[in-house]
Chain A
Amino acid sequence: MKKILILSTALCAVSGIARADVTVMSWGGAYGAAQTEAHVKPWAAATGNAAVMVDADNPAQPIKAMVEAGNVTVDVASVEYADAIRLCDEGVLETIDASKLAPAPDGTAATDDFFPGAVTECGVSTDIWANVYAYDTTKFAADAAPKTAADFFDLAKFPGKRGLKKGAKAVLEFALMADGVAPADVYTTLATPEGIDRAFAKLDTIKKDVVWWEAGAQAPQLLADGEVSMTTAYNGRIFGAAVGEGKPFQIVWDGQIYENEMYVVPKGAPNKDLAMDFIKYATSTEGLRAQASHISYGPPRKSANVDPIMYTDGKTEMGPNLPTNPANMTNSLLTSSDFWVDHDSELNERFQAWLTK
């Protein structure tokens, strides 16, 4: 018994941190930091509840594991759109009552204020982000810099290693767009065996020069370390490195693939009601604008896009750096959640098989 007591004191000393009222799980790095600064900390300050942020490579994976194991420790997770749909279908998420979301400052109901598709049965969008590619401006002359998606695959004209996300999603679409497939046809092409072969054939052309990354923070790091001359990345990470840290990085918007990022509540979350309140706070017009002032992802509400948003440095205007800026959308693709819900495991398996050979 004495031993148990000692053990208990020791373990309490270990945990040290007070148990949080709300645990938010996001992607870490600059993105996690933005959500911490814009949502987690202000919400905690405003409501007097404790809130913590934890990181994951892709929060959809651990929360599914937690729910299926009946051992949920996360209250709110930030997941990709297709994952929010898929997990909702699988009964892994709590449903969200859209009528309880915060209305716009002028009183417009949230359901009318959000962009179409930004509020689903189980999730509320927190931003619109994009897969883009970026290059190191010191590696290419200004007049001979890459400009199109096809340039990413042109090793002769633009020598150097390439960084690519290690996963099928957004990589296969990007390969097809670089191969000349119009955005409108990308998913119909990818639904056929020939289309899949075509995407992999395009990737084959650069395979031996690719450095693969997994966590979002790795992509700007690869560029900064000089390991690659260009890399695909989440656009906000590049913006953070370029504007925030003054790194010589330039985003190429051609061939960008964008989607909503969703706040969701895993089924059986320890503090479901507080989680809902957190989401209401975070996805209010001001909450979304606050996040967009930390990282260059577009707020998904009309009312949040009325006034220009300034970056936290006080001098950079966010508008031109957002995926939703019309000038950035000339050759762009909205990720199809329907497609990825169906083909995620099949194409990722094929992708793994292709990678290891």
Chain B
Amino acid sequence: MAEAATTLLTTSDGRPLKAALATAQARAKRRAFLLVLPLLLFVLLTFLIPIGYMLKRSLEHDGFSGSAPSLSAWFKQQPGFDPANPPEEAYAALVSDLALMQKDKTTGMAGTRINYTVPGTISLFKAGARAAKDLQPPYKEALLALDPEWGMPRLWRAMEAASSPYTTEFYQVATDRKLGDTGWARGADQDRIYLYLFFKTFLVSGAITVICLLLAFPVAHLLAVLPMSKSSLLMILVLLPFWTSLLVRTTAWIALLQEQGIVNDLLVWAGILSDDNRLQAMYNMTGTIVAMTHVLLPFMILPLYSVMRVIPPSYARASRSLGATSWTTFRRIYVPQTLPGIAAGSLLVFILAVGYYITPALVGGADGQLISNLISFHMTKSNWSLAAALAAMLLAAILVLYWLYDRLIGIDRLKLG
């Protein structure tokens, strides 16, 4: 019946209304999309592609494959190769590559690539390359006589993996695994760092989120129940830190918390601490947590406040009049209504905390470093592929959280101030 009705309806120029509407809507859609397009292209070019490029870097390193063509070609023809006992042809290819490296000055490149998975091999390559020109067949004996380390199965494993520019080895390293003679395995405890640091970063971010929530809840509540004129004034105290440079706030915390800083001076002056027993609250994890809590607190207060402001006070009054104690009212009536705010604030603070770099770098000392700082460490050390692999892992974690945020709260409900 509905179909029959629509076929009857036409626009003034005789087109079916349905089709005309669809055209108009498609045009409107296209117009809306065209407005967004320039920015999308800009973001694609300057943000998404660089990140994609970084992901590619985490799977790519041509330091060895590019400087050892013969051996790389040989590995391609020998899929079932036994690293414990490489044949003479493999050694011959290696020697010819070493001679090539010496000529092209690429020894360091190749050695550095292998050094990621088998530490201590740069000088092995260097010495090998220097001698390669004068080595005589049989090359296996000649090379082993030069240095027995050339026979290490893990070295051959590493060279086989490095003979292709594309590799997942950096993710192995980034998950604390080590290449042994029989393949990749869990690293020794004293060398395990990356997963531990990821775990620690999440733990610290969780702790900061909880502290922020505990501090933000009473303040947001106060702002929500005060009359507008007063709460507007107090709101400025929340927004000013939000607008103040991160470096200024970090500097302020150094001035406050360092050993010769204001808090310690006050405590010593008040006789609470002796002069040689000052608090160690800076350049360690305490410093990182305090400063980061301060930086992220407004991100918790603002979403909480916007939820609390619209909670009608009549519910609490009804609960009290029905005989509930103030505690029960708070727990059973008020808190459940603030849950959307708690979720929004907590997720946002947690996401921002996980990726924090500046504050831990400046006030974290040794044990207050987070995973971002380690990524930066490897960047400065030119271990780019490893830095990229760690960054990719961090990115994956963030994206999961971001997706969760969008599901639970909706990204379009993000507000600033």
Contact = CB atoms under 8 A, between A and B. Distances in A.
The answer on direct contact between A and B (beta carbons under 8 Å) is yes
A8 interface: no
Given A61-B382, A166-B366, A227-B258, A353 B190 contact: yes
A200 B190 CA distance: 10
A353 B377 CA distance: 12
B109 A342 contact: no
11 contacts: A65-B379, A86-B108, A89-B108, A92-B108, A166-B366, A210-B366, A226-B260, A341-B122, A342-B120, A346-B120, A355-B366
B260 A349 contact: no
A15 interface: no
Contact of A89 (B122, B379, B380): B122
Interface string B107-138: 11101100110011111101000000000000
A91 B105 contact: yes
Contact of B382 (A68, A89, A159, A166): A68
Given A61-B381, A211-B365, A338 B123 contact: yes
B53 interface: no
Interface in B40-54: none
B367 interface: yes
Nearest to A64: B382
Contacts of B120: 342-343, 346
A7 to B, nearest CB: 16
Contact of B112 (A90, A161, A353, A356): A90
Given A210-B366, A345-B115, A352 B374 contact: yes
A213 to B, nearest CB: 10
Nearest to A67: B382
Given A342-B120, A353-B192, A357-B196, A65 B382 contact: yes
Interface of B, helix, strand, loop or mixed by DSSP:
helix
Contacts of A158: none
Interface in B239-284: 258-260, 276, 283
A223 to B, nearest CB: 12
Contacts of B192: 353
B401 interface: no
Interface string A52-77: 00000110010011001000000000
Chain B interface extent, by class: 35 or more
B260 A342 contact: no
A21 B386 CA distance: 35
A31 B197 CA distance: 35
B369 interface: yes
A342 B381 contact: no
B191 interface: yes
Interface in A185-221: 197, 200, 210-212
A144 to B, nearest CB: 17
A335 B397 CA distance: 42
Interface string A150-184: 00000000010100001000000000000000000
Interface string A100-144: 000000000000000000000000000000000000000000000
Given A343-B120, A350-B190, A354-B190, 16 more contacts: A61-B380, A86-B122, A89-B108, A91-B108, A159-B276, A200-B190, A210-B366, A227-B258, A227-B259, A342-B123, A343-B119, A346-B120, A349-B191, A352-B374, A353-B192, A357-B196
B55 to A, nearest CB: 18
A352 B377 contact: yes
Nearest to A208: B280
Given A61-B382, A212-B365, A353-B191, A225 B119 contact: no
A88 B109 CA distance: 10
A316 interface: no
A155 B382 CA distance: 37
A353 B107 CA distance: 28
A165 to B, nearest CB: 12
Given A227-B259, A349-B193, A350-B191, A89 B366 contact: no
Interface in A316-357: 338, 341-343, 345-346, 348-350, 352-357
Nearest to B129: A89
Nearest to B104: A91
Contacts of A348: 381
